Structure 1
Amino acid sequence: MAAIRDPNRGFDAIVVGEFERGFAGDQIEHVVALCRRHGVQVWLPEAGGPLDLDNAEHRALIRMLGAQALREVVRARHRAMAAMRVQTRDHGRYLGGRAPYGYRLVPAGTHPNLAEARRGRCVYRLEPDPDTAPTVRWLFTERRAGRSVQDLVVTLNRQGTPCPAEHDPERNQHRTRRRWTAQSVASILANPRYTGWQVWNRQSVDHDHHTPGERRRRRVTRWNPSSRWVVSRQRSHAQLVSEADFVAVQRLRSNRPNQDGESREYLFAGLLRCGVCGRRMDSHWVHGRPGYRCRHGHTGPRTQHTLATLYLREDHLITRISHALHMPVVASPSRVAAQLRTHHMVIVCTADGVSVELPRPMLRVA
């Protein structure tokens, strides 16, 4: 797709041999339109030649083929997800990705799939990393003793303890800062895999099949509730912390005491996402009022011309969200929040306003 912008590309047409492997959904319409702007034709055997978006029959054809291909994509994804659930639950299999800070990967035998085994692939398991495992144990011990996350961050940076990005820079090239942050410490303290159990599906990805040729292709990662996690039936690796310590630390997170001793309610906790950096916004109490902020400029890399902190008061948000949902302005705040949670909506916030993001409808597979 990058080559079609080059006037000296050396070709003037692209032939799609198998549409199932070439596109899904309405991707092909965007691809054909992009190619046409640069003088490149897209040939499809089912069309008997080059595709023409001005031809009604061609448009109907590619939409039918796109729906068929997307159905196959969803089927394949469901099969893969089902297999990964079984591998995690029944076998405690490590399914890829970065090893959690505090662990390292070691070979655990040949791959059970004969075809993969013939290629020389093997399976891996997690093993405590002697360089970083003590830091993980220290974090849980100190946090359970009552120290705040921010206090732990300050201590780690003062001592010069390598943060995850600094410990493994080759796998963390997207991280420009080499310091501990509240987010990095909190993510370690919230990871149940340190108890020795294999846990999968803590996150899910909302795949966007609409714009494959665009650099801003949306691929939204969401944290799943614990009810959707898949946990192995037996321990799969050495634990760095006991289950009792892990549970105690989670209770500290959920029952954080306030200085005034009063309970605080945040109606939109977990429902707001920063429109600047994509992170989930934090609940924050200021001047006796609930609010939400994103400190993308403090806890991670910040692009130029980006505000250091985005802060929105809850009472101001209620009016904006009610308007975006076409609800009466007099609607109660709890009703507005219930509407969002019932329909699994997400509010994208910027300094200029808010927008409602609806969940992408699931394609029913026969």
Structure 2
Amino acid sequence: MRFAFYGRMSTKDHQNHQTSYLWQHDNASELITGHGQIVAEFFDVGYSRRLPWSQRPKARELLASLADPNRPFDALVIGECERAFYANQFSDLAPVFAHYGVQVWLPELCGPYDPGSPVHNLAILQLSAQSRREVLRSRFRTTAAMRAQAREQGRYLGGRPPYGYRLTEAGPHPNRADARRGRRRLRLDPDPGTALVVTWIFTQRLTGRSIAGIARELNDNRVPCPSDEDRERNGHRTNQTWSLRSVAAILENPRYTGHEVWNRQRTDREPIDPAAPSRGYRQVQRWNPSSDWVISARVVHPPLVSEQDFVAVQAIRSSRPAADGSQRLYLLAGLMRCGLCGRRMDAHWVNNRPGYRCRHGYTSAKPADTARPGNLYVREDETLAYLNGQFARLGADLNQHSLIKQLRDHGMMIICDDDSWILGPEADATPQIPSQRRPDQLF
């Protein structure tokens, strides 16, 4: 028989390509001894087992070759089942291989998979569970260790240094084996060119100055923004001026107090098509709530602002009372997206009621673009009425807070333009519920 070999390794930096390839290839060769030889090879490097085969280049190439009547192989041999398949991937792909008359040989089955064998199907279920268990166990151990290292040791755990800092060596690596190989421990130190800018930003904010005013002065003085200062890591960013978000991100970052902070962000996996999970998943980065952050118990690098001043700045940012001292409440904050430009809409109080507006990228930190569309304004009460109507059509009777919780829990956004609302997923603007005309009156 003519066999195609498939193998996989997940990381380039922490595994030896040749070694991983050889032991999987040897496994496969030993399995088919006396039955045939390997005539085609497909080996993915740097791709997680959690990715479906359609998102691994070599696996995708293998699947595409199945339909070719002149393909050079008759059967497929796997180096290790848990390396090649994750969770239910084998069960999903087995009918495809069977359709094209390609046997799948697995070392764990000591031969070809037989879909009619209860023993084989039970073994596949067990291997699928083991593959998932290995990933979950590794993730739990790694995150638990990183949590302890960040909190108790204040160790720098990777990632780009925040604006105002640079990475410097701080002695031998804590792991003795890594230290013997010459690895060094790293820590954050003030960057001579940008640390003073960070200190100036906090000082200005403590005087009560607005974030827009700070950004405008930085742009007027031609101070390079964070992405422009470090082009090597920010080649994907085109904005070369300070924005409200870049200034606010600095003011909200507790690492400037000298404490190490870990787990501010997470990576979620979302199905590309919820109706067809076999198409795979995409990775989406999201901010964790501050209650999930892990902060070092002590100061571990030179602070650029005192803890007292940092806390004071957060109070300035968060309290914004009305003229009568009351606190304004925006129920849909973060859930409104502009259908014209795709940006999140800003909470905006006008005519004594909450609403939302989009200025299509214009802020007082930069000159206005005369070609941009006019500002979009949306009333909160009318939007809530629309949502109540849509959920009522689906048979759901929810109060305001339960309705908004449902949107946040399911990653949904309200996408608006001058004529309609659309309820859609946060990741894109694909309509999920038909749009409905809004009343012409806005404010």
1:126-275 alignment, distance < 5 Å? 126-208=188-270, 217-258=281-322, 263-270=327-334
Distance 1:99 1:332 in 2: 44
Q: Deviations over 1:327-363 (max 9, x none)?
A: 768744234335557xx44323334511468xxxxxx
Q: Would the aligned equivalents of 1:320 and 1:354 in 2 still touch at CA under 8 Å? A: no
Q: What amino acid maps onto 1:348 in structure 2?
A: M
Q: 336, 339, 347: which is aligned to 2:403?
A: 336
Distance 2:340 2:154 in 1: 38
Q: Would the aligned equivalents of 1:195 and 1:241 in 2 still touch at CA under 8 Å? A: yes
1:1-366 alignment, distance < 5 Å? 1-2=56-57, 4-5=60-61, 15-28=77-90, 43-45=104-106, 46=108, 48-49=111-112, 65-208=127-270, 217-258=281-322, 263-270=327-334, 282-292=346-356, 297=361, 313-322=379-388, 331-337=398-404, 344-351=409-416, 353-355=422-424
> Does the C-alpha gap of structure 1 residues 103 and 112 become closer, same or farther in structure 2, counting only changes over 3 Å?
same
Q: Would the aligned equivalents of 1:272 and 1:349 in 2 still touch at CA under 8 Å? A: yes
Q: Would the aligned equivalents of 1:274 and 1:348 in 2 still touch at CA under 8 Å? A: no
Q: Would the aligned equivalents of 2:320 and 2:327 in 1 still touch at CA under 8 Å? A: no
Distance 1:349 1:43 in 2: 47
Q: Would the aligned equivalents of 1:166 and 1:178 in 2 still touch at CA under 8 Å? A: yes
Superposition TM-score, scaled by structure 2 size: 0.64
Q: What amino acid maps onto 2:225 in structure 1?
A: C
Select the structure of larger CA radius of gyration. Answer: 2
1:322, distance to aligned residue in structure 2 (A): 3.9
Report the 3-state secondary structure (helix = DSSP H, G, I; strand = E; otherwise coil) of the residue aligned with 1:170.
Answer: coil
Q: What amino acid maps onto 1:117 in structure 2?
A: A
Among all aligned residue pairs of Structure 1 and Structure 2, give the percentage whose two residues are the same amino acid.
47
Please give the root-mean-square deviation of Cα atoms over the aligned residues, in Å.
4.2
Aligned residues: 345
Q: Would the aligned equivalents of 2:336 and 2:415 in 1 still touch at CA under 8 Å? A: no
Distance 1:40 1:296 in 2: 55
Q: Would the aligned equivalents of 2:104 and 2:112 in 1 still touch at CA under 8 Å? A: yes
Of 330-339 and 178-187, more deviation after overlay is shown by 330-339
2:7 matched residue in structure 1: none
Distance 1:275 1:74 in 2: 39
Distance 1:26 1:310 in 2: 46
1:178, distance to aligned residue in structure 2 (A): 1.2
Distance 1:277 1:86 in 2: 43
Q: Would the aligned equivalents of 1:318 and 1:336 in 2 still touch at CA under 8 Å? A: no
Of 253-262 and 142-151, more deviation after overlay is shown by 253-262
Q: What amino acid maps onto 2:57 in structure 1?
A: A
Report the 3-state secondary structure (helix = DSSP H, G, I; strand = E; otherwise coil) of the residue aligned with 2:218.
Answer: helix
Distance 2:239 2:94 in 1: 40
2:30 matched residue in structure 1: none
Greater relative contact order, per chain length (Cα 8 Å cut-off, separation 6+): 1
> Does the C-alpha gap of structure 1 residues 273 and 99 become closer, same or farther in structure 2, counting only changes over 3 Å?
farther
Distance 1:153 1:42 in 2: 63
1:288, distance to aligned residue in structure 2 (A): 4.2
Distance 2:126 2:398 in 1: 43
1:304 matched residue in structure 2: none
Report the 3-state secondary structure (helix = DSSP H, G, I; strand = E; otherwise coil) of the residue aligned with 2:187.
Answer: strand
Q: Deviations over 1:57-108 (max 9, x none)?
A: 9887656533432222112111111101110111000000010000000111
> Does the C-alpha gap of structure 1 residues 185 and 23 become closer, same or farther in structure 2, counting only changes over 3 Å?
farther
1:267, distance to aligned residue in structure 2 (A): 1.4
Distance 1:335 1:180 in 2: 38
Distance 1:282 1:168 in 2: 29
Distance 2:122 2:339 in 1: 35
> Does the C-alpha gap of structure 1 residues 65 and 295 become closer, same or farther in structure 2, counting only changes over 3 Å?
farther
> Does the C-alpha gap of structure 1 residues 127 and 335 become closer, same or farther in structure 2, counting only changes over 3 Å?
same
1:20, distance to aligned residue in structure 2 (A): 2.6
